[in-house]
Chain A
Amino acid sequence: AQSVTQLDSQVPVFEEAPVELRCNYSSSVSVYLFWYVQYPNQGLQLLLKYLSGSTLVESINGFEAEFNKSQTSFHLRKPSVHISDTAEYFCAVSGGSYIPTFGRGTSLIVHP
């Protein structure tokens, strides 16, 4: 069985400040990890994913996530956020099951 815990339901932050969205997972097999972003009134879209190799993965818009096997974590970070980053962020894991498991989501609210 696999599960995902997103530790914060809401993260408020000021523009240009750094942010970290936390994600912990559990799985009995090798995992593949994903972060999806959902902008208001839209569907989810892939932000970045970890498959293998380097534990640090980056997205095209400045987000990065680090796979930490010992701590079973895949936290998402950005050194300086913009108003346009305001969205819901979902962590997901897949592995032995082809059906991914999603966390409950973290709402990132960027204030001017």
Chain B
Amino acid sequence: NAGVTQTPKFRVLKTGQSMTLLCAQDMNHEYMYWYRQDPGMGLRLIHYSVGEGTTAKGEVPDGYNVSRLKKQNFLLGLESAAPSQTSVYFCASSFLMGGGPWDEQYFGPGTRLTVT
């Protein structure tokens, strides 16, 4: 199993450009998450999904949109990138059907995004 994969690994954008980050998991997990990690701020939840076709806002959703059209994929979009969105983005997944909050999360390797 590949686990959780993220595409791309690195990206540089100019202010105002748009892009989509792709997360894929092959563990049949129900929940998927997008986080951003900034120095001294830990992990902050952007959006999450509790199943195919569903999405919900996390702690810092402004400036981002998400979609989960297929159970194994969770896309994070930036419509108009800003320098404040320079960060490392992590995708995670968890819970098989019947699982619960006792299940751990599985993380992807991250995408390093720089907005100039």
Give A contacts to B, CB under 8 Å: 9, 32, 34, 36, 41-46, 49, 51, 90, 94-100, 102-105
Contacts A99-B48, A103-B42 given; indicate if A94 touches B109 (C-beta within 8 A): no
Q: Can you list 25 pairs linking A and B with CB atoms under 8 Å apart? A: A9-B40, A32-B101, A34-B104, A43-B108, A43-B109, A44-B90, A44-B92, A49-B102, A51-B102, A94-B101, A94-B102, A95-B101, A98-B31, A98-B50, A98-B100, A98-B101, A99-B45, A99-B48, A99-B58, A102-B42, A103-B42, A104-B40, A104-B42, A105-B42, A105-B43
Q: Interface of chain A, helix or strand or loop or mixed? A: loop
Q: Interface of chain B, helix or strand or loop or mixed? A: loop
Give B contacts to A, CB under 8 Å: 4, 31, 33, 40-43, 45, 48, 50, 58, 90, 92, 95, 100-102, 104-105, 107-110
Complex CA gap A73/B42 in Å reads: 19
Q: Are B104 and A46 in contact (CB under 8 A)?
A: yes
B residues less than 8 Å from A102 (CB atoms)? 42-43
Complex CA gap A96/B104 in Å reads: 15
Query: Of A32, A45, A49, A94, which one neighbours B107 at CB under 8 angstroms?
Result: A45
